[in-house]
A and B are shown apart, each in its own frame.
Chain A
């Protein structure tokens, strides 16, 4: 085992971890605003991936594909909030959980109906193909792009939430729902937009993953599990907990691949166990 290999896998882990972070960040926003675990999050990821794939294939533009993935996932998310979850906020909590469960079941099948069960793949656009020489190792350009793009998107959303008026509403909605409403803010619209934002981020993660892993009908379920684990590792104290947690999951998974590739998914859960043993509330959770 060489140092180069470890460096390479570390960089891979960061790239994949940033995707996980993006995915779980969206889940965190939805959880923070509506206080629900979004079981349909994996489906939004898959929708984003398939829409990006189709748009990229038709138009030849990866950027347009990413945009379409984001927009379609966000619209589907907003529709589900507006006509589903939002209507149930006053009823028993278990109904909200079951609604999301039902929606997740439906979306997964709709994806199969539209795109079929056979997977597909697509290489990155030309300027992102090939490798760059990082001095220690040659490294695929597309993985660097994933890291940079995810970091840029997360920073943009951070800016949106922390520095804009809309973001202030979102933060207020997460911290004190009744007070936010009492101040005359349309909390229903805020919930819809927040859900759309979270779903859109999952869609973007899906789009970014297309040149890396292709599209398969089951891609949503695998990612849903990872997003939940990442949020559990991050803790519920802050919506930003998902970001370091995503990186941890990605890096652990990639490094384990060097020694025991077949255990790489299981190791994410071992990392979760380790974190929970050390901090039952998660990394950034509050007591």
Chain B
């Protein structure tokens, strides 16, 4: 396998991602489209751990929530320029995932999963307890989207849905391209190798735990960034976003889209947001329908649905698929 991705593939990929971002708002309300792109960043970041690192995290919502709270707090209390809350969300995600990751990656398998879950709930109860910062159960309210401006440009009001969508789409494009770049880098190859055969990787002189920790941090950083965007989306950061169920939803999103490349989670995000919206219009008890859907998918159509989307993702991802899986 050629370690360098050919330029043609890079262009094709960028064009495809741009097309996804451009076509989505034509098919649905811009708000829903923006939510899908935000969820897609979250899911792609999670896929770095689940699909590439083989690290089955059930605690990714912790970083999503922390990123959202950090950004949301700054936007609600101070009128800072637009890059500040985004960078705050990103850094919050990176730092918190470095700390939590340092504990979790020391263990493998089921203990790892249970620890990620426990840390997720630790953050949840912290958010619940420190309500003067997070708003507790009521959520962090009063978030104001900062105006978007660049030097020599008239600032754009992001409360305009179209401007906000373009803003989200640009960050989506940059984030997903960066994640693609990361998984194709030498680091990404080593990460996949730690999934396949950690002992072999260690015998080649790499530190497995360091590779996994860096993956945790990268994933946490993009997750925190997605959280920051989510806080802007509805001008509120709800505590549900940091609940463990949110971690479960993102695992489902990643899995239903397919884990073998970064297009899968994007498709998964579309399916998840659409399903959630669909079920919630049917019935107030929509998680029951959603849970039943999850159970039916994993029990009866697991091969079918995953295969279907894998093929679809294969069509979209072209030759990258072979390299990633």
Contact = CB atoms under 8 A, between A and B. Distances in A.
Instruction: Decide whether A and B are members of one complex.
Output: yes
Interface of A: 31, 35-37, 39, 84, 87-88, 91, 93-95, 97-99, 101-106, 108-110, 112-113, 225, 228-229, 231-232, 235-236, 262-263, 265-266, 269, 272-273, 276, 280-282, 285
Nearest to B294: A102
Nearest to A280: B106
Contacts of B280: none
A104 B58 CA distance: 14
Contact of B114 (A93, A105, A231): A231
A273 B110 CA distance: 18
Contacts of A229: 118, 121-122
Contact of A99 (B56, B103, B119, B298): B298
Given A94-B50, A110-B288, A225-B118, A37 B107 contact: no
B255 A113 contact: no
B298 A88 contact: yes
Nearest to B288: A109
A113 to B, nearest CB: 6
A109 B287 CA distance: 7
Contact of B107 (A91, A113, A281): A281
Contacts of A236: 110-111
Interface in B114-162: 114-115, 117-119, 121-122, 124-126, 128-129
Given A37-B110, A94-B50, A263 B121 contact: no
Contact of A105 (B125, B245, B255, B302): B245
A101 B299 CA distance: 13
A interface majority secondary structure: helix
Contacts of A104: 248, 291
Given A97-B58, A236-B111, A228 B291 contact: no
Interface residues of B, number: 40
B110 A106 contact: no
Contacts of B106: 280
A106 B288 contact: yes
B interface majority secondary structure: helix
Nearest to B285: A109
A65 to B, nearest CB: 26
Contacts of B244: 225
Contacts of B252: 98, 101
A95 to B, nearest CB: 5
B82 interface: no
B79 to A, nearest CB: 31
A226 B251 CA distance: 22
Given A39-B248, A272-B118, A106 B295 contact: yes
Nearest to A32: B110
Contacts of A282: 111
Contact of A94 (B122, B124, B251, B287): B251
B288 A102 contact: no
Interface string B237-254: 000000011001001100
A276 to B, nearest CB: 5
A32 to B, nearest CB: 10
Closest 5 CB pairs of A and B: A105-B291, A102-B294, A109-B288, A106-B291, A269-B122
Contact of A37 (B103, B113, B285): B113
A101 B294 contact: yes
Nearest to A102: B294
Nearest to A88: B298
B23 interface: no
Name, among B113, B288, B298, the residue most crowded by chain A CB atoms within 10 Å (CB to CB): B298
B290 interface: yes
8 contacts: A37-B117, A98-B248, A101-B248, A109-B291, A232-B111, A232-B114, A232-B118, A269-B118
B292 interface: yes
Interface in B259-300: 285, 287-288, 290-295, 298-299
Contacts of A37: 58, 110, 113-114, 117
A276 B114 CA distance: 13
A105 B113 contact: no
B253 to A, nearest CB: 11
Name, among A97, A104, A110, A282, the residue most crowded by chain B CB atoms within 10 Å (CB to CB): A97
A34 B228 CA distance: 38
Nearest to A229: B118
A35 B129 CA distance: 33
B288 A105 contact: yes
A265 B285 contact: no
A42 to B, nearest CB: 10
B295 A269 contact: no
A84 B117 CA distance: 22
A106 to B, nearest CB: 4
Given A91-B302, A266-B126, A272-B122, 18 more contacts: A37-B110, A39-B248, A88-B298, A98-B248, A98-B294, A102-B298, A103-B295, A105-B287, A105-B291, A106-B292, A110-B288, A225-B118, A229-B118, A231-B114, A266-B129, A280-B106, A281-B111, A282-B111
Contacts of B109: 35
B113 A263 contact: no
A94 B115 CA distance: 16
A265 B115 CA distance: 17
